[in-house]
Structure 1
Amino acid sequence: MLSLRPTTMDDLVDLAAWEAEPETAPWLGETGPAWHARALHDPGQEHLVAVRAEAAVGFAVLAGLRDGDAVELRRMVISPPHRRTGLGRSLLTSVLARAYGHHRARRVWLDVKAHNHRARALYESEGFTVTETLTGAVTEADGALTDLVIMAHQVR
């Protein structure tokens, strides 16, 4: 069983370490404890840790909470030892339930790099659809330009 709890400052070192993993880092923009601290202190964002059997196994950040009926899933990461176990799907469904139930969202949206096929397959399998592609929107560390895909999920 997966549950969500508010992130604390004490969590930030672990969360930043999960993001720095070679399997995760290429898919993210800015990372690190300072990024998380800003999210924690922003009233328009909600930073949540996923917990299973009293251990933190992932996190998610919701944003745009004061902007009306659309909530952004800004970030979602599963800790390295818990990847490929179905917890990513569990976290996604828990976060969607939180956005629709607690925040009264009518739509949840996210952006994902076009070549992040594993993440896109998860989002699509949970009902997200592509609404727009921003060509060359992200400059990678090597200078290459990457497309960013905007996906949305509507309340059912």
Structure 2
Amino acid sequence: MIVPEIPKDSKHPEIRVRGAEAADEPALAALDRATWSTLHAVLPASGPGQPFFDERHLPAHYLVADAGAEGAVGYLRLVPPTPMACHTHVRQIQGLAVAEAARGRGVARTLLRAALDRARAEGATRITLRVLGHNAPARALYESEGFTVEGVLPGEFLLAGAYVDDVLMGRSLLG
């Protein structure tokens, strides 16, 4: 998938979104470590040599933003939120990262739109996510793509000495 809003010049190559492959593990692990921040992460940063993929985080769960020679410049994790049959109509975004050098080029929006398309293709009618209350840029992106706040867990996390809200957002995939 190529999104036309990405500038197409030698400085900003086209971004292609594709499913992750096992061979992406080193690049995605490095991207994950480089982008880790308490702005969006509640778990400690992973260390060098720790696997990116495991039994709960399979390549099939990830979309990768590929910028040609630059390689993977972002990823998004999209999964069913639970294994329950009554929940199969929902997909949940459980991670989105964009390399610092690729920010401001529409990579996150491109990944998000690709996730909406994939969720619809998988038969989902609803998509949800959780975002930290202090992550204003991510919240603005999600709101601009039709997500609304559906709940807030006040002070749910203690990060870097401050209590941070857990904001639940979602949107319909119908229509």
Q: TM-score when scaled to structure 1?
A: 0.83
Pairing 1:63–2:76 present: no
Are the equivalent residues in 1 in contact too, given 2:89–2:126 (CA < 8 A)?
yes
Q: 2:150 aligns with which of 118, 127, 131?
A: 131
Coordinate RMSD, CA, aligned? 2.2
Number of aligned pairs?
A: 150
Task: Give CA-to-partner distance per residue, 1:34-64, whole Å, 9 cap, x none.
Answer: 35334017xxx61221223363221111111
Instruction: State the SS of the aligned residue for 1:39.
Output: coil
Instruction: State the SS of the aligned residue for 1:25.
Output: coil
Pick closer, same or farther for the CA change 1:108–1:118 going to 2, 3 Å.
same
Aligned to 2:37: 25
Are the equivalent residues in 2 in contact too, given 1:130–1:151 (CA < 8 A)?
yes
C-alpha deviation, 1:24, in angstroms: 4.1
Are the equivalent residues in 2 in contact too, given 1:18–1:80 (CA < 8 A)?
no
Aligned to 2:10: none
Instruction: State the SS of the aligned residue for 1:139.
Output: strand
Q: 2:67 aligns with which of 52, 60, 75?
A: 52
Instruction: State the SS of the aligned residue for 1:76.
Output: strand
Are the equivalent residues in 2 in contact too, given 1:19–1:25 (CA < 8 A)?
no
Structure 2 residues not aligned, in runs of 5+: 3-14
Amino acid at match of 2:128: W
Q: Which has the higher strand share?
A: 1
Instruction: State the SS of the aligned residue for 2:134.
Output: coil
Pick closer, same or farther for the CA change 1:29–1:9 going to 2, 3 Å.
farther
Are the equivalent residues in 1 in contact too, given 2:62–2:75 (CA < 8 A)?
yes
